[in-house]
Structure 1
C-alpha cells in the first residue's frame, strides 16, 4: 500500500467515525414530542420555577401545607417544607406564592411590615399580588393556588 492510499484510508475512516458521531449526537438531541417542538407542549420556563410535578398547583394535588391559624390577617407565613409563602391580606382572603425571589432565586426570608421580603438583595413583594414593591426584583412572585378546607391551607 502506498502513502497516498494510506492517507485516503485514514481520511475515509475519520470521516466515517465523524459521521457516526454526528448522527449519535443528533439522535440524542431529538424529541419524543410528536409535534416536534422539543418542549413536550410547555413554553419556556422561568429559571426560578420548578418543573411541574404530580400534585403541583395545576394538578389538583390537595396537599395540606399549613394551618389557617398560622397565617395572621395583614401578614403571612412561610411554609419552607412546601417552598411556599401564604398571605392573608384581609380576613379570609388567602394567597399562595412560591417562596423564591424572582430576582436571583434566593429564598424568601420573612413576611412582616406588610410585605413579603427577600433578604438577599432587599426585594419586597405585595401581600395580595406578589408584585414587587421594592427592587431589585422586577417580576412578581410565582402565584400558587391555595384553598382553605376547614382549618387547613391546601395547595389546590
Structure 2
C-alpha cells in the first residue's frame, strides 16, 4: 500500500506541475489578444501585415489598445484623435494591462493614466507615460 500511495502522490504532483506550466504559458504567452470590453480596451501582440500596428476601427473611442510586443498603448480619446504612449508603467516598469473607463491601467500596483495625455490619474506612479510617435494614414496606424 505504501508504494501505491507514493505512486498516487507522484501522479498528482506531476499533474499539478503540468497544470501550473500550462497556466503560466497561457498567462505569459506573447500571442494574447482580447476583445474590447465595455470600457473600451483590448490587448494585442504583434503588428498587422505591412508594418501596420492597427486599423483605426480597432481602437475604440474613449478607450485604447495595448500592444504588448511593441510596448505601446494607442488610445482614441475623442473620435478621430489617436494618441500613443509607452506601455511601460513609470512606477515599477510593469507593462500596462488594459484601457478601461477612460484610463490606462497598470495591473501591478493599480496606477492609472489619462488616455488623452498619459498623465497620472491615480498612483503610485508619479510620472506620466511618455508619448510615442504614430502615424495615421487613412484607416492605418503605424509606428512613426
Report the TM-score when normalising by structure 1.
0.58
Alignment partners' CA distance in 1, 2:70 and 2:134: 12
Aligned partner of 2:24 in structure 1 is none
Gap runs ≥5 in structure 1: 1-61
Contact 2:111 2:123 in 1 (8 A): yes
Which of the pair has more CA radius of gyration? 1
Give the counterpart of 2:93 among 84, 105, 108.
105
Aligned partner of 1:141 in structure 2 is 129
Aligned partner of 1:120 in structure 2 is 108
Alignment partners' CA distance in 2, 1:63 and 1:144: 16
Per-residue CA shift, 1:116-140, capped at 9, x if unaligned?
0001000000001000000000000
The within-5 A match list for 1:3-152 is 63-152=51-140
Contact 1:146 1:153 in 2 (8 A): yes
Gap runs ≥5 in structure 2: 1-49
Alignment partners' CA distance in 2, 1:83 and 1:68: 18
Report the TM-score when normalising by structure 2.
0.63
Consecutive aligned runs of 4 or more in structure 1 exceeding 2 Å deviation: none
The alignment's C-alpha RMSD in Å is 1.4
Per-residue CA shift, 1:49-108, capped at 9, x if unaligned?
xxxxxxxxxxxxx95211111100011011122111000000111100111100000010
Alignment partners' CA distance in 2, 1:155 and 1:80: 14
Alignment partners' CA distance in 2, 1:64 and 1:96: 14
- What is the number of equivalent residue pairs in this alignment? 95
